[in-house]
Chain A
Amino acid sequence: MVQILNGLQFGVLLFLIAAGLTLVFGVMDFINLAHGVQYMLGAYLGVAFYALTGSFLAALVLALAATLTFGLLLEFVVFRHLYDRDHLDHVIATFGIILFLNHGVKLVWGAAPLSLPMPELFSGSVKLTEGLLYPVWRLVVIASGLAIATMLYVLVAHTRTGMLVRAGATNAAMVSALGVNIRRLFTIVFGFGAMLAGFAGIMIAPILSVEPGMGDTVLILAFVVIVIGGIGSIRGAFLAALLIGIVDTLGRSFSVDILRLAMGPSAARTVGPAIASMLIYLLMAVVLYVRPTGLFPAKGR
């Protein structure tokens, strides 16, 4: 049960990151590998502002603003020149940004892992059922993630901008031809995505350690999420993120035990962790084999 909740929390985290990624890719056809470092940056900025202000809330707000600014800066200086280019160019350019930021934060904050203390109010554990204690903060993360998912859904499905975003994800050229200021739309989408990633970073900082390169694994998983969910689809990202969060967490916890049923304990202990790490990728391979464009691609099959 604990693991299911942990899986849910991880899934929510992945969703926050994947949402920005899938929109940016869906609307602007831009592969943003640097999204992971935006998440990392959010965490680092959270730590920095906390050190400055002593208040988690203040740190959250300031770090969000800073992440947004940085994201917009990146978009303005680098990314907007790359929208017409090949995917390969996107990959290499954003790979360069990853190198820059991963080592940049190492220079500024050092390589040692940092941490961000949770707000007092949420730092305890709560009793869910008989004999089951669960950290409050993780529940907060889940709750905020679900809240954001709902907000995103409302925004995308029921507002004018949201409709433009959905239209853009389906056919950006057409939207532009209809006279919509596509540049501004792109900037909004990008900035929003950056904020989501930064928010995820700040929220997770009290639980995980903040260190250079923390964005890399998460990034790959986020890509797996959007590929399985279908590019351009928030709904797909949400479902895929939860699926992956749960599968990965449960897989890691129980793989050894499950395998022990089939093979000896020492073999299970060797093979188990390997299979657990690979589970997600196997899942993606299977999904792509059956549906080469993901489960709910915005552009249709």
Chain B
Amino acid sequence: MPASLAASPVRPRGGLLAATLPAGIFLVLTLLPVVTSVTGSTYLISLGSRVMIFAIAAVALDLLVGYAALISFGHAAFIGLGAYAVGILSAYGFTDALVSLPVALAVSAAYAFLTGLVCLRTKGVYFIMITLAFGQMAFFTASSLAPFGGDDGLTIAARNTLAGFPVLRNERAFYYIVFFCLLSTYLFCRALVASRFGRVVRGAKENPVRVSTLGFDVYRFQLATYVIAGALAGLSGFLLANAAEFVSPAYMSWQRSGELIVMVLLGGLASLDGAVIGTAAYLLTEEWLSAFTENWKVIFGPVLVLIVLFARGGLLGLTSALARRFMRA
């Protein structure tokens, strides 16, 4: 197997780091609003919500890219679909989350199912291309929806109510709702990976022929993974639409899909904690650098190249390598 960022071990890194890292991450996230209540600014809270929203999509994508070795370059489409479900329903007066959330999940799951049927018949770069194609299709459809803003996007009057209560409109409450969604997503994906189902999928990543000769229909397992990942991204989209109170085709652009892959990669593939960290790293860097210059990507581009060349295993790989060296010293 060629050496690459994808070669990070499927088994969790042993020892202290593996056990405490997720707890650490979620502890930080839990305490953030408490900390900021001291400073009184909502900026950090909304930034935190934004990071967590994308982290949900990144964790879902890691299922595909890291554990199933299915490199989807159209994942942003599912976020967009979830978001547009909220937007369109809002425009028609359906503003309660009890309506828009299930619809968002259903739409993204359905799209994942239908496109997955076709995509999963291909492999390798063909798979990458066809997921890209379906992502583009969603993008163009949204861009041409003139009654819903087309290219310019659609503003949502207000965030969804939750069973009638305007809970989401409170920044702090919204933060905790997003936190809850991220935590659930994370725990669910962790369980999935360790489950019987996850074992088949992980096996198919290593040796699909072998797994099928054992009696598993690899296609069905991959399709199920694809649908799950799509639905979770739809959840992310639902939250994103509420956070921004705005939806736009840009949510589904192929650049966004690329950025999602980068977020997953930064944390190290096949590491769900890593997906969260990678998302935080990417978005926080973006926030920070764009304060300096609009063209921060001129720097970020080469950084990405350097990461690919030298930092295998992403940030977590780097830190555990550093940790090992430190402990040896």
Contact = CB atoms under 8 A, between A and B. Distances in A.
Note whether A and B contact each other (Cβ less than 8 A): yes
Contact of A106 (B65, B118, B122, B295): B295
Interface residues of A, number: 47
Contact of A274 (B71, B118, B141, B269): B141
Interface string A82-98: 10111111011101111
Contacts of B76: none
Contact of B4 (A88, A107, A284): A88
Given A284-B130, A285-B130, A293-B126, A92 B301 contact: no
A199 interface: no
Contact of A91 (B73, B134, B140, B295): B73
B113 to A, nearest CB: 15
B2 A95 contact: no
Contacts of A271: 144
Contacts of A270: 144-147
Interface string A252-286: 00000000000000000011011001100110110
B254 to A, nearest CB: 7
A88 B118 contact: no
Interface in B115-153: 118, 121-126, 128-130, 132-134, 136-137, 140-141, 143-147
A113 B256 CA distance: 24
A100 B302 contact: yes
A42 B145 CA distance: 35
B118 A97 contact: no
Interface stretch (A53-61, A140-148, A223-231): A223-231
A192 interface: no
B83 interface: no
Interface stretch (B93-101, B160-168, B304-312): B304-312
A146 B125 CA distance: 28
A227 B297 CA distance: 29
A220 B129 CA distance: 9
B128 A274 contact: no
A106 to B, nearest CB: 6
A91 B2 CA distance: 15
Contacts of B218: none
Contacts of A239: none
A99 interface: yes
Contact of B133 (A89, A107, A224): A224
B124 A104 contact: no
Contacts, number: 146
B300 interface: yes
Interface string A26-61: 000001000000000000000000000000000000
Interface in A65-96: 78, 81-82, 84-89, 91-93, 95-96
B141 to A, nearest CB: 5
Contacts of A227: 125-126, 129-130
A88 B129 contact: no
B191 to A, nearest CB: 25
B308 A93 contact: yes
A91 B128 contact: yes
Contacts of B133: 224, 281, 284-285
The prevalent SS among residues of B at the interface is helix
A86 B2 contact: yes
Interface in A278-301: 278, 281-282, 284-285, 288-289, 292-294
A290 B227 CA distance: 22
A23 to B, nearest CB: 14
A285 B143 contact: no
A278 B128 contact: no
B295 A103 contact: yes
A277 B249 CA distance: 14
Nearest to B4: A86
Contacts of B145: 270, 274
Contact of B298 (A78, A86, A100): A100
A216 to B, nearest CB: 8
B258 interface: yes
A265 B2 CA distance: 55
A110 B6 CA distance: 37
Contact of B258 (A89, A95, A282): A95
A220 B147 CA distance: 28
A249 interface: no
Contact of A88 (B71, B122, B137, B301): B71
A101 interface: yes
A223 B124 CA distance: 13
Given A78-B305, A86-B2, A87-B125, A223 B261 contact: no
A233 interface: no
A97 B129 contact: no
Nearest to A293: B126
A288 B137 contact: no
A36 to B, nearest CB: 12
A143 B269 CA distance: 47
A17 B126 CA distance: 18
Given A82-B308, A96-B301, A288-B121, 17 more contacts: A78-B305, A78-B309, A86-B5, A87-B124, A91-B73, A92-B265, A96-B302, A224-B129, A270-B144, A271-B144, A277-B140, A281-B133, A281-B137, A285-B118, A288-B126, A292-B122, A294-B126
Interface of A: 25, 31, 78, 81-82, 84-89, 91-93, 95-104, 106-107, 216, 220, 223-224, 227, 231, 270-271, 273-274, 277-278, 281-282, 284-285, 288-289, 292-294
6 contacts: A82-B308, A87-B125, A88-B261, A91-B73, A103-B297, A288-B130
